[in-house]
Amino acid sequence: MARKPIIRIIGSLNIDFVTLTPRVPGPGETLEAKSMTVHAGGKGSNQAVACGKAAYTSPTEQDVQVEMLGAVGAGDPYYASLLKPTLTKSGVDTRYVEEVEGVQTGTATIIVDEGSNGENRILFVPGANHHVDDLDKIISTTTQDGVPDVIVMQGEIPKPTVLGLLSTFNSDRHKTCVVFNPAPMFDTIPLSALKDLAVLVVNETECLLLFKAVQELRDIETPSEENLTPHLDRLTSHLHDLASISIVVVTLGSRGLYYSVASKPTRQQARGLIPAAKVAKVVDTTGAGDTFVGYLSTALARHVSKQGSLEGFDVQEASLRANEAAAKCVQRSGAMESIPFGYEI
């Protein structure tokens, strides 16, 4: 039997402690809050869950193998009782999650201020995520059992690891496609790190950093976050030209998304704007971006495993489906829980 396409997510795993409060306490003040709930989280594991769920073609069948590589604290009861079961239930293989002695699993303490439209304040403690730092070991683990068709990365593990993996796996040597979502945003995104990247996915905030990076080399105006769209053709032309990135996707929240593809031999560019799918009621947008990345990466893995390369990948079709999935996500509450299964789309 032919092997299934493989996606490996190399990224963070966190436990989220979410406190709802009527307002944020002042210095020295103790305030009675409304509730505290504990959730599985982390940008890496959210996107792993999105890939895992997207791969379900029916409630019992998954056509893509999804693997998480990262680190948690050894003996962490929240990993054992919450995070690992959530990943497993979503069809994610956790055998490459290392349990590191003497450190805590990463945490995010999220304060939701109900008095100001549910605005979040987040304290992130990287913990074991900082131990995803042995580049040689990660590269050998990722190449020894056959290189995955797609590698998905974000910005919540140490920056030298991310940059080292990008420069290793973006080269043609390794016959894999990297999907990079630099979230939560790096303070700068060096174009040199994106050289030959297969797929870059950014939201509006991260997109502004790309304008800044391009501005250092080319004459380009940086627009406001609200007025990005008319400037995206120019930005992406420069990105294809300066860094040879094959596909750039900018997610635009309730306005949908923009994509641009440059095919390598002809350098021909195809681009388009896809409006967000209409939803009856937006309940919670947390995880919408991760859902999009997961669905796009899963479609890409299916293509690469069949064709052997990115060439011919229908970005528009994959983005339309990812857009539908993300719209489903915003109509449900929670992060991982709200991500739909592939057979629901």
Q: Which residues are annotated as a binding site?
A: 14-16, 42-46, 156, 203, 251-256, 284, 286, 289-290, 323, 329, 332, 334, 338
CB 220 to ligand ATP: min, Å = 22
- What does the binding site for ligand ATP look like in residue numbers (CB under 6 A)? 203, 251-254, 256-257, 276-277, 279, 282, 285-290, 292, 323, 326-327, 330
Cβ proximity to ligand ATP: between 73 and 289 the closer is: 289
Cβ proximity to ligand ATP: between 14 and 251 the closer is: 251
As annotated, the binding site for K(+) includes 284, 286, 329, 332, 334, 338
Residue 196, sorted as left (phi over 0), alpha (psi -120 to 50) or beta, turns out to be: left
153, 160, 188, 340 from 89: Cα distances, Å: 21, 32, 36, 13
Peptide bond into 275 cis (omega under 30): no
Residue that the structure tokens 């991982």 belong to:
336
| Active site annotation includes 133 | no
- As given in the structure block, the two tokens for residue 337 are 């829980």
Cβ proximity to ligand ATP: between 106 and 287 the closer is: 287
Number of Cβ atoms within 10 Å of the Cβ of 34:
10
CB 213 to ligand ATP: min, Å = 19
Is 106 within 8 Å of 79 (Cβ atoms)? no
CB 144 to ligand ATP: min, Å = 32
- As given in the structure block, the two tokens for residue 88 are 């497993």
What is the C-alpha to C-alpha distance for residues 317 and 274, in angstroms, rounded to an integer? Answer: 10
Is 54 within 8 Å of 293 (Cβ atoms)? no
Q: Which of 113, 134, 172, 290 is catalytic?
A: 290
CB 75 to ligand ATP: min, Å = 30
Is 83 within 8 Å of 17 (Cβ atoms)? no
Rg of the chain (C-alpha set): 20
Strands 14-21 and 35-41: antiparallel
CB 288 to ligand ATP: min, Å = 3
Cβ proximity to ligand ATP: between 58 and 254 the closer is: 254
What residues are annotated to the active site? 290
